[in-house]
Amino acid sequence: MDHVYKQVELTGSSKVSIQDAIETAVARSSETIREMRWFQVTETRGHIEDGKVAHWQVTVKIGFRVDH
């Protein structure tokens, strides 16, 4: 059988780390999207306050099955 996947683009933010920002985005998606399969990082940014990194902001494309 031939599958079809959809990709959505999300930006997760975290005060802790780049990975935590990605996991925050994936966790938020898991509330409404089932059958997530992969992600790809498309941008890594951050917010600076008082001369220090205050938030890590990572944008990911998340792919999930939509064929059933």
**Nearest distance in Å: CB 32, a copy of itself:** 9
Q: In angstroms, how far is the first alpha carbon of the chain from the final one?
A: 11
Q: How far is the CB of 17 from a copy of itself (least distance, A)?
A: 6
Q: Which of 46, 57, 51 shows the shortest CA–CA distance to 20?
A: 57
Q: Is 57 helix (H, G, I), strand (E, B) or coil?
A: strand
Considering only residues 6 to 35 of the shown chain, the ones binding a copy of itself according to CB under 8 A are: 6-15, 17-30
**Would you tell me which residues interact with a copy of itself (CB under 8 A)?**
2-15, 17-30, 36-41, 43-48, 51-53, 55-56, 59, 61-63, 66-67
